[in-house]
Copies of this chain bind each other. A is one copy, B any other.
Amino acid sequence: MPTFQENLERYADLLVRVGVNLQPGGKLQLNAPIDAADLARLIAKKAYEAGALVVDVRYSDPLLARATYEAASDAALDYFPAWGAEESLHKIEEGYAYLSLTGSDPDVLAGVDPTRIARSSKAYGLGMKRVADLMSASAVNWSVAGIATPGWARKVFPDLEVDEAVAKLWEAIFTVSRADVDDPVTAWREHTATLRRVVDHLNERRYDALHFTGTDTDLTVGLADNHIWAGGSEVAQTGIEAVPNIPTDEAFTAPHRDRVNGHVRATKPLSVRGTLVEDIRVRFENGRVVEATASRGQDTFVQLLDTDEGARHLGEIALVAASAPVARTGVLFYNTLFDENAASHIALGRAYSINVEGGLDAMAASGANDSLIHVDWMIGSADMNVDGIREDGTTEPVMRAGEWAF
């Protein structure tokens, strides 16, 4: 059995070679919480060994963000410098790959006034809108992966000593990321080929809508005109094929912002800005959330819906087999990157322009949604059925009892 250090090295190598598929002479921006310094250094080493011209590491600090939300004036929360997006735009123009590590304590912002967080997020979202648009259009390769931190591990395994919890969380990350096998790069090649077959089938069938049925759920999700299913690896505008999310087990596309009807319940809790929102139930009418309840965190959830006009419409529908590795671990990660691969899900807010033919410019006309937010939440389960509805009204099974049915 490989040691922890061996697994960590394989993982770093996987993120560089598969996650962003860094080329010789390539430029890399690595975003990492300060807790992830060990892994960040290892990734920098692997990237330079792969021939990187520059690895620019940007450390973030969730506790600093918390201190800011608590102490900053309203003017400070609203502040975003006029030149704040310039460096990112330079980097995108030069084809930098972006690798981001996520793994903060999901509760790090618990108790902070959510209106203050929303205020700051909105200022940042507005200031960085062009960058987010380019990223969602895959102007450059980007990838997001996990890092086990004490704060996160404590949340996932509250009954273990913290060292044990961190070790166990790393083990889970390595497993669902397929990093603990002999040859992770080959394993990923096979895995993305499998997802490619699903995506190709769905693109070939060109469904007008999907119909979800299951416990407390009867939802029809119209798909955007000229929608494109994506999943697994993706070819960025740089021409380089890479994997935006590690792990990833989803096939996803853009819903039509005005053609979603029915009701749906969340099958997992959702962590919104530090608040856990439980038992979400939502009703859609003509694409818009007209009713939303939760047994816990309802205020926070409604605040999220009120971020802007697009926040009450869907920007993503994603299908995940109930037998995917994240589901098999049985672990609730309290982190979307992982939990979204445990179940089929929908996202409120911004659609990805890669999910529409013609990209960014064609989104509005195709009915793809726009918003400052993009928040995924799980609706899938082992009792979920999904049918594809074709233009002529005929239906075909897509999933049965949570598994692919074609």
Q: Which A residues lie at the B interface, using CB under 8 A?
A: 25, 34, 37, 40-42, 44-45, 48-49, 51-55, 57, 59-61, 63-64, 67-68, 70-73, 75-76, 79, 81, 83, 86-87, 90, 94
Contact = CB atoms under 8 A, between A and B. Distances in A.
Contacts of A81: 54, 90, 94
Contacts of A25: 75
A71 B44 contact: yes
Contacts of A54: 76, 79, 81
Given A41-B63, A44-B71, A48-B67, 18 more contacts: A25-B75, A34-B34, A34-B37, A41-B61, A41-B67, A42-B67, A44-B64, A45-B70, A48-B68, A49-B71, A52-B76, A53-B76, A54-B76, A54-B81, A55-B72, A59-B59, A83-B86, A86-B87
Which 6 pairs across A and B sit closest by C-beta, in order of nearness?
A59-B59, A48-B71, A34-B34, A41-B67, A83-B90, A48-B72
Nearest to A54: B79
A9 to B, nearest CB: 13
Contacts of A90: 81, 83, 86
Copy tally for this chain in the complex stands at 2
A40 B57 contact: no
B57 A64 contact: yes
Given A34-B34, A37-B61, A41-B63, A53 B75 contact: yes
Contacts of A60: 59
Contacts of A86: 83, 86-87, 90
- Secondary structure of the A contact surface, majority rule: helix
A227 B204 CA distance: 78
A23 to B, nearest CB: 13
Given A52-B76, A64-B37, A86-B86, A71 B45 contact: yes
Contacts of A71: 44-45, 48-49
A227 to B, nearest CB: 37
Contacts of A44: 64, 67-68, 71
A92 to B, nearest CB: 12
Given A41-B64, A45-B70, A63-B37, A79 B53 contact: yes
Contacts of A87: 83, 86-87
B64 A61 contact: no
B48 A76 contact: yes
